[in-house]
Amino acid sequence: MALPLSHNFRNVTVRWRATLATVLGIAMVVAVFVLVQALAVGLEKSASNTGDPRNIMIVRKGSTAESSSQVSLQQFQTLHYWSQIARDKKGNPIVSADLVTLISQPRIDGKGEANVSVRGLTPMGRFLRPQVTLVAGRWFTPGKREVVVSSRMAKRFAHFKIGDRFKTAGNWMTVVGEFAGQNSAFDSEVWMDADESRALFDRESYSSVLVRAASPQAAQEIISRLDSDKRLPLRGDSEVEYYSKQTATAMPIRILGNFLATAMSIGAIFAAMNTMYASVGSRTREIGTLRVLGFRRRTILLSFIIEGALLAAIGGVLGCLLALPLHGYSTGTMSFNTFSETVFQFRITPWLATKGIIFAVVVGVVGSLLPAIRASRLPVIAALKSV
């Protein structure tokens, strides 16, 4: 014979002070767990939201990021003549060579400096990235030491507003526009002309080449041709897949989140255990009565575990609600791939909220297990004689 769930709900509400303390403790643990995991999800979303499935990213074999890759001018010119590359209306190949470099810039709040990724583009570069749109000012003019900055970076770094000037590599650069990258990796970049960037930073090579394949079959042919051509020490990936793989920064954050959640969950387990032990102590006569009425030990054991899980589930829901206002909030961190500032948003997904609630229920079950065992083992006569 099982106890009705209404019995557990009533017991939770009757001892509301102890219940509230336990619920708030678990809610804080879940809120921290969800928010830290939301950072990792935001980074992964930013990477997976970058690129066009028709594009192929070409970098040097063995490189882990564009900033560590080199593609020579000769290799770039060779790629121009491949028949698998799409052409525009004028018959020009849709291909762009990029140079990715890092510069150090002061933060807008005056709290130190950070590396900023600067992408130099050849003329086709903007056409190959339709998700990037100009939101203010104008695009840069080659040869005039002009740059266009992402709107999010303009909010995080000094001298990144339209009309501002900043010095790098011994030259003054002028900000002439702002762009939006639609929550992609491009939101963490500054754009300028590629050849001007090569001259400014004294680079002989480009970092990568981005090409538009003429068809899905042509895309596979480009990748296969790069793999087999010994004269070109390059490799190709779908642009979408390339950026999806650039999520190494998310892994340390996930590890940190799991570590914090584990450490804090120990405290939450003891809080739940203390609450349930107190509940057992105050309900000794009730437990004895239930035993006299024919309820078995395992029924009482299960009843207390359900109460603990119920408390934790309420705390889990509350924790998710506490974390929810930060959904979509923009922040930044250092990328372990490029060692530059990466901006992204907190992303609290339905699955992440579900994981938070499941995590809370596990904490509640573990915390109520020992008190539940004690309650189920109380002698009937001693329980009925208690005051």
Mean pLDDT, rounded, for 182-207: 90
Q: Is the model more confident about 362 or about 207?
A: 207
Highest mean pLDDT among 31-40, 103-112, 162-171, 253-262: 162-171
Confidence of residue 336 (pLDDT cuts 50, 70, 90): low
How far is residue 3's CA from residue 5's CA, in Å, rounded to a whole number? 6
Indicate the domain borders of the chain. 5-47+248-385, 62-232
CB burial string 159-190: b at 16+ within 10 A, e below: bbeeeeebebeeeebebbbbbbbebbbbbbbb
Place of tokens 């639609």: 182
Stated pTM of the model: 0.72
pLDDT at 134 over 60: yes
Angle between helical axes of 250-282 and 350-376 (0-180°, round to 10): 30
pLDDT, the chain, mean: 81
How confident is the model at residue 111, as a pLDDT? 80
Angle at Cα 195 formed by Cα 208 and Cα 119, nearest 5°? 50
Please report the pLDDT score of residue 387 as a whole number: 45
Q: What is the mean pLDDT of residues 367-383?
A: 67
* pLDDT of the residue at 15: 62
Q: Which of 118-122, 325-329, 358-362 has the highest mean pLDDT?
A: 118-122
pLDDT by residue (tens digit) across 282-323? 565 565 666 555 567 677 777 777 877 888 888 889 989 988
Which residue did the predictor score with more confidence, 340 or 92?
A: 92
User: Whose CA is closest to 41, among 360, 358, 353?
Assistant: 353
Lowest mean pLDDT among 62-71, 135-144, 350-359, 370-379: 370-379
Q: Is there a contact between 172 and 161 (Cβ–Cβ < 8 Å)?
A: no
Work out whether strand 113-121 and strand 189-193 pair parallel, antiparallel, or are unpaired: parallel
Question: Once rounded to an integer, what is the mean pLDDT over residues 37-58?
Answer: 79
Rounded mean pLDDT, 45-55: 78
pLDDT at 330: 67
Q: Are 25 and 267 in contact (CB under 8 A)?
A: yes
Indicate the DSSP class of residue 85: B
